[in-house]
Amino acid sequence: MVGRNNALARLILLAGCATPQREPASESAGGGTPEAPVTSVTAASHALRIIPVAPGRFVLQAAVPTQVLATASIQYRSPGGQWSRPASYELRESCAAPAAAAAKCLEMLPDKSFAPLSWNGSSCRPCCDSDEYTELQPGEYRFAIAACDDPGVRWEGPSFEVPGTTVAFERWRAASNVRKVSGFQLELDRPQNAKVPVEERIFGYPIIPGSEVRLSEASVSALVDWLRDPKGFIDNETQRCFPGKKFGFRLDRSVQEVGHEQTEVVIDIGCSSILINNQEGALHAKSYSGFGDSRQRMREILRQVMPGVRLNGRTR
């Protein structure tokens, strides 16, 4: 797996709107600086909303034309309850590097929602070429955005929790806002000269014709709970193994102010491994982990979903 950075995170979204605050102009903006006491700014109370739509992801909505700084912050709440500023967060909608003369401020308009790239604790966020393993500081976090004409005025989004790694972050993201799930049996190998249409493959593995099943509400709940289990996965190492039967899932979700998106999951029973491909607009964040500690739970889910299918062996 790729590099390890020390960063910050953990996630369960808590509903709510952004809270506008005024902070003293003398407060330092350096990383890890505790937040000073602030006073509410009534005039700005409904100018901007920070709407959480998925773990580490939000949408901005303005009630009136509002200019904000293009660099926001990710704040961490210490065990003692203080909020600090451990990391900056660039508000941008694409992976293209900002131009040298990029605007310092962004204008939020009432008739257009702004959906910046998500944050998962890694330096490249969903723009990584491959899955990037990064250790995170578990705890409670929030996004904070400052007004352009008065940096002392800021809006703070609802707090959220994040697990201990970026890989776990992607599992939590896969398990959010799930509306329906379909399960599939997959071919063992990925053909190199793939002539199989994309919609008939998951992570490159061809879907076995006629194998699709729609998961019941109980099975969807079991799958989501499994993905969110912090103790059921091994995120920091790859393993040598003998590949076994493969199964796939497509998790459909409706993202507020964004629309329909999908996550693809591949389960290898022989290797007790999981591949995740999370859609974020036109981007796809991929991750890999092992699930040896929760292997039995996954086998039980597969038996519920596909009761007539043998799980052992390497062929269908």
Question: Considering the entire predicted model, what is its pTM?
Answer: 0.81
Residue 287 to residue 250: CA distance in whole angstroms? 15
pLDDT at position 42 over 60: no
Q: What is the DSSP letter of 189?
A: S
- Write out pLDDT tens, residues 250-309: 999 888 778 899 999 999 999 999 999 999 988 888 889 999 889 999 999 999 999 988
Residue-averaged pLDDT of the chain: 82
Per-residue model confidence as pLDDT tens digits over 151-209: 788 899 999 988 988 899 899 999 999 999 999 999 998 887 667 788 899 999 999 99
Angle (CA) 110 141 103, round 5°: 45
Q: Across the chain, which distance is largest between two alpha carbons, in Å?
A: 67
What letter represents residue 89's amino acid? Answer: Y
Kindly tell me if the per-residue pLDDT of 2 is higher than 80. no
- pLDDT over 70, % of the chain: 80
- Give the residue from 56, 150, 70 showing the smallest Cα distance to 102: 70
pLDDT band at 38 (very low <50, low <70, confident <90, very high): very low
Residue 40 pLDDT > 60: no
In the chain, what are the domain boundaries?
A: 6-164, 175-305
Q: Is the pLDDT of residue 218 over 90?
A: yes
Residue 219 parent element (H or E): helix 217-228
Number of helices and strands in the chain (H, E): 3, 21
